[in-house]
């Protein structure tokens, strides 16, 4: 596979951009080698500067539910572009977007647009703190909620991949307000609340929120158990703690109404990103009106953004969500494709006598290079990341572009054809076989 142009671009990039990339997980650090520079995406494929073509499963880390450059999003963008890019003033489309999200996700009574998932999650935490008057919050080891200081404690995704789950630069003060629980372990939550109460003179807890990926994608795909989430909901009710579902990845991905539709559990706040931007930078946080009315200018919790709700991003996002509203069959199609791929991979593992864990919810999945199960953080991190690195490259040379990191999700789009999936299954067999030969 020719990579000359990517190599020379990367040499240039590292001179001006930290690590040569604008987001760490793109750098191939944990799989070895240097990143490929992409020139074009079309449907299920991407093309790099050296002319290589790949069937790809990153989907820009989740946004591309309909593959790259879907005509209906491109058309909406071009139309919006005619009227200008950003006004810094309210537009009708923002009202339509807010109404559409609340129609598709009933727990959303009110919503604020922002420009990234990180902005959404950090604003949700601040709002929960403002609403409850309490300071601490609980996150789960291995979950990733973006790069706001207080989240970068035992975080997943790129932080975990690079072995810096707790980042330098995060102050002790910030870290002190972040309480860490174990995913799928309700006793670890109860223990934190008990400890927090006994530490307070009042005997009441000082915990504003619990934030969770209801289906984790950032330790690889690990689904919360129904009982765990149900009990978490009950505890938050009893203890006056705001339950935040971070659906930046799962929102409109795993079902039309997101993970909360699958679990039939209503969070107090939900954060969104990725798919709601249709490939442009959009995040959002929303939920109960009485909580969201705390957000400036209706309430005292300040939150702002120059380009929040800008016309181009809203046009792309509104087109994506309108398509979802008008075509609920999209999720049946995605389920068929994803189940087909899962079955092919599991058949391969069986015939190669490999017992790696393969987790999937809807069109997001992870093949963990760990024997047995990956049903929480502790089991997921036992994965052999070096072996994953070799697998990644064996797939890449066969024209399949996966996440360059074990602790990520692979995403299938509506545009992945049976031919793409068959090619992927064949490459998977040859790649896993090659690993055992080496
Ligand atoms: P952004 O700030 O990257 O838009 O969103 C942060 C975020 C929040 N919550 C969840 C559940 C997320 O998955 C993310 C971002 N996901 C990663 C991929 N695992 C983004 C990829 C990257 O960091 O480049």
CB of 218 closer than 6 angstroms to any ligand 1 atom: yes
Q: Which pTM value belongs to this model?
A: 0.97
pLDDT digits (tens, 9 = 90+) for 374-406: 999 999 999 999 999 999 999 999 999 999 999
Q: Is 90 exceeded by the pLDDT of residue 73?
A: yes
- The pairing of strands 178-181 and 215-216 is unpaired
Helix axis angle, 330-351 relative to 418-437, nearest 10°? Answer: 30
Nearest C-alpha neighbor of 252 from the set 312, 340, 317: 317
pLDDT digits (tens, 9 = 90+) for 17-38: 999 999 999 999 999 999 999 9
Tell me what pLDDT residue 159 has.
78
Peptide bond into 101 cis (omega under 30): no
The alpha helices in 134-288, defined as continuous H runs, are 157-161, 172-176, 186-199, 226-238, 259-263
What is the rounded CA–CA span in Å between residue 342 and residue 365? 8
Write down the catalytic residue from 57, 131, 144, 356: 144
- Name the average pLDDT for the chain: 96
Average pLDDT of span 251-273: 98
What is the rounded CA–CA span in Å between residue 200 and residue 189? 17
What are 179's strand-pairing partners? 138
Tell me what pLDDT residue 157 has.
80
CB of 35 closer than 6 angstroms to any ligand 1 atom: no
The rounded Å distance from CA 12 to ligand 1 centre is: 26
What is the rounded CA–CA span in Å between residue 189 and residue 15? 45
Tell me what pLDDT residue 165 has.
67
SS3 state at 269: strand
Average pLDDT of span 218-230: 98
SS3 state at 271: strand
pLDDT digits (tens, 9 = 90+) for 77-126: 999 999 999 999 999 999 999 999 999 999 999 999 999 999 999 999 99
Question: CB of 358 within 8 A of CB of 367?
Answer: yes
Tell me what pLDDT residue 309 has.
98
**DSSP string spanning 125-169?**
HHHHHHHH---EEEEETT----S-GGG-SS--HHHHHTT-SS-TT
Closest residue by CA, ligand 1 atom 7: 146
The rounded Å distance from CA 353 to ligand 1 centre is: 34
Taking the mean position of all CA atoms in its chain, how far away is CA 78? Answer: 27
Q: Is 80 exceeded by the pLDDT of residue 438?
A: no
Closest residue by CA, ligand 1 atom 1: 117
Question: CB of 291 within 8 A of CB of 284?
Answer: no
Domain 4-69+329-437 and domain 71-326 have a common topology: no
Assigned fold of 71-326: 3.40.640
Cβ-proximal residues to 264 (8 Å cutoff; 6+ apart), any chain: none
pLDDT digits (tens, 9 = 90+) for 319-369: 999 999 999 999 999 999 999 999 999 999 999 999 999 999 999 999 999
The rounded Å distance from CA 43 to ligand 1 centre is: 22
Question: CB of 1 within 8 A of CB of 370?
Answer: no
Report how far apart, in Å, the C-alpha atoms of 261 and of each of 226, 252, 257, 334 are. 12, 10, 5, 16
pLDDT digits (tens, 9 = 90+) for 123-161: 999 999 999 999 999 999 999 999 999 999 877 787 777
Q: CATH for 4-69+329-437?
A: 3.90.1150.10
Q: Is 80 exceeded by the pLDDT of residue 163?
A: no
Tracing tokens 């997943």 back to the chain, one arrives at: 156
CB of 285 closer than 6 angstroms to any ligand 1 atom: no
What is the rounded CA–CA span in Å between residue 423 and residue 369? 21
The rounded Å distance from CA 199 to ligand 1 centre is: 33
What is the rounded CA–CA span in Å between residue 88 and residue 226? 42
Domain ranges within the chain, ordered by starting residue: 4-69+329-437, 71-326
Tell me what pLDDT residue 166 has.
79
CB of 158 closer than 6 angstroms to any ligand 1 atom: yes
Q: Which pair of tokens denotes residue 39?
A: 């020139």
Count of CB atoms within 10 A of residue 189's CB? Answer: 24
Ligand 1 atom closest to Cα of residue 23:
24
The rounded percent of the chain whose pLDDT value lies above 70 is 99
Angle among Cα 76, 77, 83 to the nearest 5 degrees reads 100
Clarify whether 149 is annotated catalytic. Answer: no
DSSP state of 2: -
SS3 state at 27: helix
The rounded percent of the chain whose pLDDT value lies above 90 is 92
Cβ-proximal residues to 125 (8 Å cutoff; 6+ apart), any chain: 137, 148, 150, 208, 209, 211, 244
Clarify whether 144 is annotated catalytic. Answer: yes
What is the rounded CA–CA span in Å between residue 367 and residue 415? 21
The rounded Å distance from CA 47 to ligand 1 centre is: 23
Ligand 1 atom closest to Cα of residue 156:
19
Tell me what pLDDT residue 202 has.
80
CB of 281 closer than 6 angstroms to any ligand 1 atom: no
Write down the catalytic residue from 274, 331, 337, 401: 274
Q: Which pair of tokens denotes residue 57?
A: 């499963």
CB of 58 closer than 6 angstroms to any ligand 1 atom: no
């Amino acid at each position: 596979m020719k990579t000359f142009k990517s190599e020379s671009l990367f040499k240039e990039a590292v001179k001006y951009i930290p690590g040569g990339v604008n987001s760490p997980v793109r750098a191939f650090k944990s799989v070895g080698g240097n990143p490929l520079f992409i020139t074009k995406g079309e449907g299920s494929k991407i093309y790099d500067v050296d002319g290589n073509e790949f069937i790809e499963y990153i989907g820009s880390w989740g946004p591309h539910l309909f593959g790259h450059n879907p005509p209906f999003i491109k058309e909406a963008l071009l139309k919006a572009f005619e009227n200008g890019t950003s006004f810094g003033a309210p537009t009708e489309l923002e009202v339509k977007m807010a109404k559409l999200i609340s129609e598709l996700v009933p727990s959303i009574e009110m919503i604020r647009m922002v420009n990234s998932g990180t902005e959404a999650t950090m604003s949700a935490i601040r709002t929960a703190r403002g609403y409850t008057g309490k300071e601490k919050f609980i996150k789960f080891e291995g979950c990733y909620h973006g790069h706001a200081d207080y989240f970068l404690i035992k975080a997943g995704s790129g932080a975990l991949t690079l072995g810096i789950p707790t980042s330098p630069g995060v102050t002790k003060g910030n870290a002190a307000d972040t309480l860490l629980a174990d995913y799928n372990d309700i006793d670890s939550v109860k223990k934190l609340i008990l400890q927090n109460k006994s530490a307070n003179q009042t005997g009441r807890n000082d915990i504003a929120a619990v934030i969770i990926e209801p289906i984790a994608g950032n330790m690889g795909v690990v689904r919360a158990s129904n009982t765990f989430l149900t009990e978490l909901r009950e505890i938050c009710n009893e203890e006056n703690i705001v339950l935040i579902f971070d659906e930046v990845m799962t929102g409109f991905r795993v079902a039309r109404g997101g993970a909360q539709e699958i679990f039939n559990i209503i969070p107090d706040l939900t954060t969104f990103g990725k798919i709601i931007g249709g490939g442009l930078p959009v995040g959002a946080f929303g939920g109960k009106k009485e909580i969201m009315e705390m957000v400036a200018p209706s309430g005292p919790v300040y939150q702002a953004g120059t380009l929040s709700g800008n016309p181009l991003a809203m046009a792309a996002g509104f087109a994506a969500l309108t398509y979802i509203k008008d075509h609920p069959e999209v999720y049946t199609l995605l389920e068929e494709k994803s189940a087909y791929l899962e079955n092919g991979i599991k058949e391969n593992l069986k015939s190669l006598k490999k017992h790696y864990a393969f987790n999937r919810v809807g069109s997001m999945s992870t093949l963990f290079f760990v024997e047995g199960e990956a049903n929480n953080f502790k089991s997921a991190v036992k994965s052999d990341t070096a072996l994953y690195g070799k697998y990644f490259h064996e797939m890449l040379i066969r024209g399949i572009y996966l996440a360059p990191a074990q602790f990520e999700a692979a995403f299938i789009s509506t545009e992945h054809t049976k031919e793409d999936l068959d090619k992927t299954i064949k490459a998977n067999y040859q790649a896993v076989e090659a690993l055992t030969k080496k």
